[in-house]
Amino acid sequence: MSIDIPLKDKIILITGGASGIGLSLTKQSHTLGAKIVVADLRATDDFTSFAASKPNILFVQSDVTKWSDFNKIFAACEQKWNDVPDAYGICAGLFEPPFSSFWGDAEEDTEGGYKQVAVNVDHPVKLTRMAMKKSLGRGKRASVCIIASIAGLSGNIAAPLYCATKHAVVGFVKSLKDTEQFTGVKVTTICPGLVNTPLFTPDKVSQFSFQEQAALSPDDVAKNMLELLQEKKYKCGTVLEISLAGTRVVPEWNIAPPAGVGTGQELNAEDVAVKAMLKPVLEKLASEKGAKL
């Protein structure tokens, strides 16, 4: 059975914890009295300012596409607190960046695969497995929450690789719904609609017609992640959708589509927003057309 895991005096590991939703989770976890390991490529100014003189926040510079860095993160945690995490907020992610997207497809090293898949899928899957091993080794319970997306419940023609990675996370978590009895680790995922985070770079703001009034805040998502992590009413395998319309636990079968602004379901092919979203895709395809086309 799932148990309550209040974070006060507990350890939480947050990947991508220096910006966006991860930084909000870092700040809220600190307010709850948690010990926090933040794993990120770099420390942002906002994170550095917040973490200054806070002994319960440990920053470990790391690249989540390098599995060897996970060992470095756990080693740093055990060195500081002589223990492994009780909770995991898996927040690091990519949203169709120019160096790893479907339509742009600048990646040529097939051996390495798509970087976006490595960050959005390989990293949460591997870290969840390591969380199980570490917790079993210590004989302790733990809770894992992975950020997915409403894009993991539907699709988007301009971001098919991103959507595929988030579908993978949802499928992964649903597949683990009966495992807590064996591992002692609860695994859940959250599927936010539009969120105002640094993932919306200026080009993405233009392409996807981003509007702040239609977006959740990172704090909104982090608050619900903490509920998933701490409260036993959210069982292993829970998929929680969150949008401006509210929250719902997504049933395993026969779900209704997301509703309301910020979910993408209110748009149609004639909308200016949809045309803007498709513009770079169509331009890219036009550049690739052969003479006979």
3-state secondary structure 174-238: HHCCCCHHHHCEEEEEEEECCECCCCCCHHHHHHCCCCHHHCECHHHHHHHHHHHHHCCCCCCCC
**Tokens linked to 165:** 């990675």
Looking at the domain assignment, is residue 269 inside a domain?
Answer: no
Residues whose CB is less than 8 angstroms from the CB of residue 55 and which lie 6 or more positions away in sequence, other chains included: none
pLDDT at 292 (0 to 100):
58
Q: What is the pLDDT of residue 100?
A: 93
| Structural domain includes residue 208 | no
Determine the distance from the C-alpha atom of residue 110 to the mean position of all C-alpha atoms in its chain, rounded to a whole number.
25
Q: What are the backbone dihedrals phi and psi of residue 89, each rounded to the nearest 5 degrees, phi first?
A: -105, 105
Which structural domain, as residue segments, surrounds residue 84? 11-202+214-258
In a domain, 156, yes or no: yes
Contact between residue 54 and residue 62 where contact means Cβ atoms under 8 Å apart: no
CB 69 within 8 A of CB 62: yes
Tokens of 85: 């995490």
Q: What is the pLDDT of residue 76?
A: 98
- For 79, the token pair is 């060195």
Instruction: Count structural domains, the chain.
Output: 1
Distances 177 to 130, 170, 198, 276 between C-alpha atoms, Å: 17, 11, 31, 39
283: in domain: no
CATH number for 218 = 3.40.50.720
Q: Look at residue 190 and tell me if it is in a domain.
A: yes
Question: Distance between CA 293 and CA 277 in Å, rounded?
Answer: 24
79 part of a folded domain: yes
- Model confidence, pTM: 0.92
Cα gap 259→276, rounded to integer Å: 22
Total count of residues recorded for the chain:
293
* The two three-digit tokens of residue 276, written as one number: 């803007």
- Per-residue pLDDT 10s for the chain (293 aa) are 889 999 999 999 999 999 999 999 999 999 999 999 999 999 999 999 999 999 999 999 999 999 999 999 999 999 999 999 999 999 999 999 999 999 999 888 667 789 999 999 999 999 999 999 999 999 999 999 999 999 999 999 999 999 999 999 999 999 999 999 999 999 999 999 999 999 999 999 999 999 999 999 999 999 999 999 999 999 999 999 999 999 999 998 878 888 888 887 777 777 888 888 888 988 887 887 775 54
Helix (H/G/I), strand (E/B), else coil: 125: helix
Measured distance CA(111)–CA(102) in Å, rounded: 17
State the pLDDT at residue 137. Answer: 94
